[in-house]
Structure 1
């Protein structure tokens, strides 16, 4: 899949005085026919070159359109103690560009915005080892080793699933800690809507929205719960973490899933590393169809796969977006076995796969109807195929 950000450094250092040691322009270009608000990235190695080794905590992004400094985030992708990416959220009109100013200031901490909304993720040991993540639009979770152990030992309260669960939030602030805390005091708390949303979404042994498997001879083989996790970052603009899965199926498939979620996006990004001698075109991503009462749409040409259904009488759209070049096939399965009615996307993946999985719940106000959801999904496909271009001058 194409890289999401293209960065070129075109100028040398500029001394400005008045507390600003250096400044550079950042131009963000949008070649699509709709406005975009997205998190963009500048390589920290380029910032170090531009700002002469100054502390990157002192780098700010100034928006001339609003005359304000924007929220930014440093990310240490490889966890070596040094930041690798500098993130900020760009707003760019259709077929247009936006210009921002990077500045290094000694009093940067006094000028940085305190974000009203943010991304967040964490391991949840108090709820049998879930891993949960969210932003201002959506929330997700999946299940860990303690939940698996309870099931295999015949103890109550466990969950055996590598599917991806959806939490239907309708507020822009973080709810993960609050809902889990409420569940400790009142079991089942987050299965009821207390005004912020709730979790009515059933996963079971299905793929939920975005779970993986091996499709062979009309059967889907899946892993157990994740065995280990690593939180890479959680901040105002992006949260990223990794999940490891023990070898599974006759092919001894081993997976590491790096999952990230940006502020403002309805879609988590999944970067999967796969090992094992799996058959060609068998690595699969899926969406549960629950009881098969919704509608599914398969668009292999654009790599967009959608399910629209009612949950407790309220519409929700779930979807997967993937590079069309990686798609082998897309189809739905009809089965009387619980949780096995699914929309499945088989892929050409052998060792790596990137895709996006997400949703929109009408009660959140993000979409009004199925046509709105279809447009949101198609826009995501266009965004992946046409990343914003970032140039630093």
Structure 2
């Protein structure tokens, strides 16, 4: 690790710092801080970058968080930013901003103190607990939307009552607009049951999860069978905002290994992929922690790229197509295969990983009805790029 200047490596706006040079200094704390962001890949990248607040200490001594502004050097307009307070102590821990960098290029930014307004946009990220639909937890950005199911929905099923859902699989909402739809769809669903299952011009939810893994649900593969958790038992919303939403879902101990699992899930603006940071605990060694994508009625196509760490399903839904995918560091993958089962909702594309206390992966989708893509070749290209992004994070240098 070089100690000439500070270096942060960011994976889609990742939370952790991969390198920092102790010898760096803040240049003129009153005039601002210079940031250099470098894209070493051969395609353009639009991603969220995070700067830990400690790297902005000199500036923050003389101004408040709300007055911190970022712009491309030489530009007039400021960029949208977002502070994230991970430990809920009222102080921002990380400052986010979006970068748009061409292939094999470098862009320089200035961080300054100013009270000028920042341009607004209807495109945002959002997540919340949804008590009006039993106890869903839903999240979205300007491209995709997801949801998970809570304990009351589980109890309804176990009590043989209507309306419940028993699943730790991840549901997909197919949206075609760049503004937030979660509040609107749930409100209209209360007024007219089943509203969001019907296309009204903004997209809809035709995606069936059931007991399957949906897209990104997990389990333990053992003896040709998949052991899975039930619904989440608690949630914690950490951040919602224009650039990133972050929350945690906790599950009751599950499987014969008594696995205690917490999922920290985040979704960045402009990304088709939710990031899953999994924490696992057990008194026993956990084998074969497995990620999955439902194969539904097995009418779709599977592509397994174990070498590069991306796995996809492409399937027809109504009159359009949906591509689902999981991207993970290939070094942690043991094997991957399409499990064909005669039991409903048990046919899944499964990615078996080597046991670990923590695991990070990305799960997401794209829908042809949204206009984001038109065929499976484009979906494969998106997945291949996502794998390269994970392996080659943007280089962020604080000068």
TM-score (norm 2): 0.93
Choose from 194, 215, 226 the match for 1:188: 194
Alpha-carbon contact 1:143-1:159 (below 8 Å) kept: yes
* Helix, strand or coil at the partner of 1:214: strand
CA shift for structure 1 position 350: 2.3
1:59 to 64, 68, 91: 68
| Equivalent position of 2:306 in the other structure | 300
**Other-structure match for 1:204:** 210
Aligned partner of 1:317 among 323, 332, 343: 323
Which residue in the other structure is 1:18 paired with?
none
Distance in 1 (CA, whole Å) between partners of 2:150 and 2:80 is 33
Residues 48, 54 of structure 1: 8 Å contact kept: no
Partner of 1:267: 273
CA-based RMSD: 1.5
Q: Distance in 1 between matches of 2:303 and 2:118?
A: 44
Residue in 1 that maps onto 2:25? 11
Gaps of at least 5 residues in structure 1 are: 16-20
- Aligned length, in residue pairs: 384
Q: Is 2:222 aligned against 1:213?
A: no
Shift of 1:114: 2.2
| Preserved CA contact (<8 Å) 1:136 1:171 | yes
1:115/1:7 Cα in 2 relative to 1: closer, same or farther (>3 Å)? farther
User: Aligned equivalents of 1:349 and 1:231: distance in 2?
Assistant: 28
**Quick one: distance in 1 between partners of 2:75 and 2:281?**
48
Counterpart Cα distance in 1 of 2:224 and 2:323: 26
* Partner secondary structure for residue 80 of structure 1: coil
Tell me the TM-score normalized by structure 1: 0.94
Q: 2:4 corresponds to which residue?
A: none
Determine the C-alpha separation between the residues in 1 that align with 2:39 and 2:26. Answer: 25
CA drift of 1:99 comes to: 1.0
Contact 1:7 1:392 in 2 (8 A): no
In the aligned structure 2, how far is the partner of 1:30 from the partner of 1:153?
54
CA distance in 2, matches of 1:6, 1:338: 43
Shift of 1:31: 0.3
Correspondence for 1:22: 31
Q: Distance in 2 between matches of 1:12 and 1:342?
A: 51
Aligned to 1:384, what secondary structure does the other structure show? helix
**1:80 to partner: Cα distance:** 2.5
Larger CA deviation: 50-59 vs 367-376: 50-59
Q: CA deviation at 1:54?
A: 2.8
* Per-residue deviation, 1:352: 0.5
Runs ≥4 residues deviating over 4 A: 5-9, 277-281
Superposition deviation, residue 179 in structure 1: 0.4
Q: Secondary structure at the match of 1:193?
A: coil
Asked if the contact 2:77–2:118 (Cα under 8 Å) also holds between the matched residues in 1, the reply is: no
**Deviation string, structure 1 residues 151-174 (Cα, Å, up to 9, x no partner):** 111111000000000000000000
Structure 2 runs not aligned, ≥5 long = 1-8, 12-16
Equivalent of 1:90 in 80, 86, 99? 99
